[in-house]
Amino acid sequence: MKQFVMKRIGYCVLSLFLLSLTIFFFVRVTGDPATLLVEPGASPEDIAAIHHQFGLDRPLIVQYGLFMASVLTGDLGQSFYYRTPVTELYWSRLPNSVMLASAAMAFSLLIGIPSGILASVRVGRFWDNAGKVFALLGLSLPSFWVGLVMILVFSVYLGWLPSSGSGTPLHLIMPAFALGWYFAASHMRLTRSSMLEVLGSEYVKLARLKGLPQSLVIAKHAFKNALIPVLTLAGINFVIMISVAVVVETVFAWPGVGRLLYEGIAFRDFPVVQGTVLMLGAMTVVVNLVVDVLYAVIDPRIRLAS
C-alpha cells in the first residue's frame, strides 16, 4: 500500500512539474504584457522599464528557475497588474469559488439524481425522454449564454434577482444554476445508467420476488449502490467546477478564482495565470490522488494490480 501511495505521489509531482513547464512557456507565447500596460506610442524606455521591473528582460530559463524556486517556498510571484502576491489574490478569491461550486454542486445533485432515477424507472417513456432532452441541453448550451438569458429574464424583466456581484444568497442563485446545469446533466446521465445497471442485478430481482414495493426496492436497495459512482464523479466534478467557472464568474461578476484567471489572461498577467493554473491543477491532482488511494483501500485488487 505504501508503495502504491508513493508511486501515485510521484506521478502527481511529475504531473505538476509538466504543468508548470507548459503553462510557463505557453503563457509567454501569448505576447508582451508591457504593451497592455502602456498606450501605443509609449516610449521604448517606458516599455523597457516595465520589462526590467517584472524580470522579463532575463533569459527564459532564468525566469523559469526563479519561478520554480519561489513556488517551492509557496510564493507564486507578484501579479503584474495588481502588484500583489498571487497567493494573496488566489486565497482571497478561493472561498467565493468554493461557495459558488458548492451551490452549483448542490443544485446539480438535487436536479441530476432524482431526474436520473426517474429516467431509469421510466425507460423509454416521457420522463426518460425529458431527461435526455434536459441532458442534451445542459451539455450543449454554453454557460455564458444561459447566464445572460437568466440575467435578462430574472434581473431585467422580472427584477427578482441581482444581475451580478456577491454578498447575499440571492446573488448566488443564477450563477449557481448556470454553472451547475452542465454538471446536473452529466450527473443525471450517470445516475440513470448506474441505476439501470443496479436495477438489473440479481439482488434487486430477489427483492422484487420477495414482494417489496418498487419504491422500497429503489430507495432501500438500488439507490445507495447506484449512488457510489455518482458521488465519486461529484467529488471530482467539484474541483473541476472551481476550474471551469471562468465564464460564469465573469458574466456574473462573481469574485472568484475563475474571474481572476480571466483577468490574468486579459492583462497578460503571467504570474496570475501561472499561479492560478498551477493551484487549480494541484487541487485536481490532489483530489485524484485521494480518490485513487480510497479506491485502493476499498478494493485490494487495485493496489495489488499496481
Partner 1 sequence: MESFAFDRPNTNLTRREVLAAAAAASLAAGAPRIASAAPSGQLTYGVHVALTPNWLDPAETQGIITPFMVLYALHDAMVKPMPGKAEAPCLAESWTAAADGLTYDFVIRKEAKFHNGEPVTAEDVKFSYERYRGTSHDLMKGNLASIETPDPQHVRFKLKKPWPDFLNFYSNASGAGWIVPKKYVEKVGDEGFKQAPIGAGPYKFVSFTPGVELVLEAFEGYWRKPPSVKRLVMKVIPDEATRLAALKHGEVDIAYSIRGELAEELVKTPGLALKPVVLQAPNWIYFPEQWDPKSPWHDLRVRQAANLAIDREGMSQALFLGYCKITNSIIPYTFDFYWQPPAAAYDPAKAKKLMAEAGFANGFDAGLLYCDSSYSNMAEIAVNNLGEIGIRAKLEPIERAGFFAGYASKKYTKGIIQGASGAFGNAATRLAAFVVKDGAFAYGSYPDIDALYPQQADELDHEKRASMLAKMQQLVHEKSIYAPIWQLGFLNGIGPRVGESGFGQIPGFAYTAPFEDLTIKS
In the complex, which residues of this chain contact partner 1 (CB under 8 A)? 30-33, 35-46, 49, 81-84, 89, 92, 148, 151-152, 155-156, 159, 162-165, 250-253, 255, 259-260, 262-263, 267-268
Taking the alpha carbons of 165, 168, 174, 177 in that order, is the dihedral positive or negative?
positive
User: Smallest distance from the beta carbon of 222 to partner 1, in angstroms?
Assistant: 43
Residue with cell 446545469: 181
Neighbours of 61 (CB within 10 A): 8
Neighbours of 284 (CB within 10 A): 19
User: Smallest distance from the beta carbon of 251 to partner 1, in angstroms?
Assistant: 5
User: Smallest distance from the beta carbon of 275 to partner 1, in angstroms?
Assistant: 14
User: Smallest distance from the beta carbon of 112 to partner 1, in angstroms?
Assistant: 27
> 78 pairs with which residues across the strands?
85
Residue placing its CB nearer to partner 1 in the complex, 83 or 210: 83
User: Smallest distance from the beta carbon of 242 to partner 1, in angstroms?
Assistant: 17
Taking the alpha carbons of 181, 283, 270, 254 in that order, is the dihedral positive or negative?
positive
Residue placing its CB nearer to partner 1 in the complex, 135 or 257: 257
Distance between CA 131 and CA 146 in Å, rounded? 18
User: Smallest distance from the beta carbon of 57 to partner 1, in angstroms?
Assistant: 15
Pull the grid cell for residue 190: 450517470
Residue placing its CB nearer to partner 1 in the complex, 263 or 292: 263
Pull the grid cell for residue 154: 430574472
Please choose, from the candidates 92, 80, 99, the residue with its C-alpha nearest in 3D space to the C-alpha of residue 269: 80
Residue placing its CB nearer to partner 1 in the complex, 153 or 290: 153
Distance between CA 276 and CA 295 in Å, rounded? 29
Q: How many CA atoms lie within 13 A of 292 on its CB side?
A: 20
